[in-house]
Amino acid sequence: MRNRLRGIRRKFDALKLNVKFTLMIIFLLEVPIGVFAGFLFWTMEQSVVQEGLSKLEYEMGRQEAQIRKNVESINMSTQFFLSNQALLEYLVQVKQGKSIPLQELNAFYHNDIAAMERMINSNLYLYQIRVYAEGDNLKEMMPVLYSRSRMERLTWAQDAVITGWKFNYMDTIFDSYMIDQSSKIMSLVTRIEDYEYGELGILEVAMSMETMFEGMYAGNEEMITCFLDENGNDYYGEEQDRENILMQTTLEDMAQDAYADTYYHTVINRKDVIVGCLDVKELSGTLVCVQDISGDVGRVRYMRNLFVLMAVALIPFLVIGINAVVKTVLHQLYRILGAIKEVQAGNLDVAIENCGTDEIGELGSQFNKMLSEIRRLMEDNLKRELLAKNAEIKALQNQINAHFIYNVLESIKMMAEIEEKYDISDAITTFGKLLRYSMRWNSGNATVEQEIDYIRNYLKLINLRFDYEIYLSLNIPDIIYQQQIPKMSLQPIVENAIYHGIEQMAEDTNIYIKGLIDGNDCMIEITDAGKGMSEEEVVQLYKKIAGEIETTGGSGNGIGLKNVQDRIRMSFGDAYGIEIASKLGCYTKIMVRIPLTSAALRSP
């Protein structure tokens, strides 16, 4: 996985800048829009599901209210018949086998049975109320009173428990040519009992299934309703609904888990459905509704897929448009890149025009400044190379001249020794050492020890000129003796001390050279006991050394110290150089600060 990510990263890094910007902008546009659209369509889909659940809950609640009303009507009718005293007395007489006079039968039929019939006909919800009884002298009085043998023709009469709720059976007490048997009915079957005589008959209060379960016969193709009784038998409004895979799958799930007063969304056979399970306690059963909402959900998903296709189709146009805008924005950057390639090819005369004021414009301006500085540096470097060549030529000439001078000085020295003029011989030897050191051009640096030897020889020759003696006092650690320093850096300071500080005193004196370590730097102090300088003179000398005041040839102009300052800073940086401390009539101290090199640190 990491290798794959690294591969993708390498491929991305290899792309051009405008392609990277285009891809990132597309990503930043498409991802938030995709997330928002996904959340929006998910919310719409959930809204469709929730709306369907709310409607289903409302519809089943309405059906429950209707069922409860129908059940109450059946119960009231049942209680009415069970409490009808005339009916009970008649059934007792039948049970006892008494012979009932015709006049009483006619009165019972025209008064009591007629009243019962009117009560049945007044209740539009009821299908029929029948009483089934046994007895040799029983006279059937339709449509209320029937013999027990007619009840035996009904399907529920064969049940082990004859009483209770009976569902979805046909009225078969008469032949089909006498009564319509196509209608499915249900009923509450109750025993008519007397405390003294026991069972007097069976009461059947019937209602059509369509009246009791209105929702099962609503003819809604998207909703299937089923009623489960306490024995697990299922009843449908249309027989073909029994084979519906959505309902059958739901019933199988219900067989595994207990569902009661539950409304939920699920997917069956790749169809989105909502299921409602309502516990109908009055009928000791469960009303189950399954509604197919895949059409509504499908419309939301169709809109989602259409949006995705449109978004995908829009990507090429976005890529072209964004890439054009990015190229326009990066046009100035590509100009700078082209200029850089020209510089790499060797053309330093390029220039970026109309840079602008934004960040890329600032980059172009800085690029122009950089090219100008490069051209200047190259010109300076060319001048330095010319000066170096000229210096090499002069050095070669000096070497030739020095060879001649050394031979001449050696001849003069021999002549002085033959004449036993040893002072002259020693002076010539010292002078030769000075010439050899000053004319040696193989390196721009020397050690402090070499500089000090040169100063010793220099003072020997200087003392030949004066009637007084200039002594050299040294206090330098060995580690500083090994320190590298630009050649001829200390002698000009000593020379400056003699001519501007000591010579005017015309008396024996000392020049003190002291070395000390200051952190990672070392300090070399050169102090003379000369005439010194005032504070104003020190300030002026600082300005001459810094180049703030132009220096010309002549005594006391500070050009020697300026040259020393410039050479030290060229070698070690602007943090190094010389410092001046002086008191008028007392002394002048020149302090040279240079870095302590690693070579000096390694020396024993």
DSSP tally for the chain: helices H, then strands E = 18, 17
Return the number of other C-beta atoms located less than 10 Å from residue 272's C-beta: 22
List the single range of 7-16, 197-206, 358-367 with lowest mean pLDDT.
Answer: 7-16
Give the DSSP H or E segment for 405. Answer: helix 359-418
DSSP summary character for residue 24: H
CA dihedral 170, 171, 174, 177 (to 10 degrees): -60
Tokens of 484: 């590298």
Work out the pLDDT band at 396, boundaries 50, 70, 90.
Answer: very low
Tokens matching residue 276: 């409602």
Which of 500, 493, 477 lies closest to 591 in space, CA to CA? 493
Q: How confident is the model over 95-118, as pLDDT tens digits?
A: 888 888 888 889 889 999 999 999
DSSP state of 574: T
Which domain-ending residue is among 243, 271, 294? 294
Q: 372 lies in a domain?
A: no
Tokens of 15: 């792309």
Q: Which residues share a beta bridge with 105?
A: none
* Domain annotation covers residue 33: no
The alpha-carbon radius of gyration of the chain (Å, integer) is 62
Q: Is residue 362 part of a domain?
A: no
CATH code, domain with 477: 3.30.565.10
Please indicate, yes or no, if residue 331 is contained in any of the structural domains.
no
> Where in the sequence is the domain holding 578, given as residue range(s)?
458-602
Strands 198-208 and 184-194, by their bridges, are: antiparallel
Split into its structural domains, the chain has a count of: 2
Tokens coding 275: 């299921």
H helix runs in 83-147, sequence order: 85-96, 102-107, 114-122
Q: Which of the four pLDDT bands, split at 50, 70 and 90, describes residue 555? A: very low
Both tokens of 417, joined, read 């020794």
Q: Does residue 314 sit within a domain?
A: no
Q: What residues contact residue 222 under an 8 Å CB cut-off, 6+ apart?
A: 291, 292, 293, 295
Q: Rounded to the nearest 5 degrees, what angle is found at the Cα of 385, between the Cα atoms of 382 and 391?
A: 145
Average pLDDT of the chain is: 81
> Which pLDDT tens digit goes with each residue over 495-541?
888 888 888 777 888 899 999 998 889 999 999 888 888 888 888 88
Q: Is residue 227 situated within a structural domain?
A: yes
Question: What is the model's pLDDT at position 204?
Answer: 95
**More confident call, 320 vs 44:** 44
3-class secondary-structure state, position 220? coil
Statement: residue 492 has pLDDT above 70: yes
The last residue of one of the domains, among 262, 294, 326, is 294
Report whether 483 contacts 597 (CB < 8 A): yes
Q: Is residue 175 part of a domain?
A: yes
Answer with the one of 294, 322, 349 that is the final residue of a domain: 294
Residue 398 has pLDDT above 80, yes or no: no
Q: What percent of the chain has pLDDT over 70?
A: 83
> With 60 as the cut, is the pLDDT of residue 231 above it?
yes
In a domain, residue 212? The reply is yes
- Contact at 8 Å (CB) between 140 and 147? yes
Q: How confident is the model at residue 543 (pLDDT cuts 50, 70, 90)?
A: confident
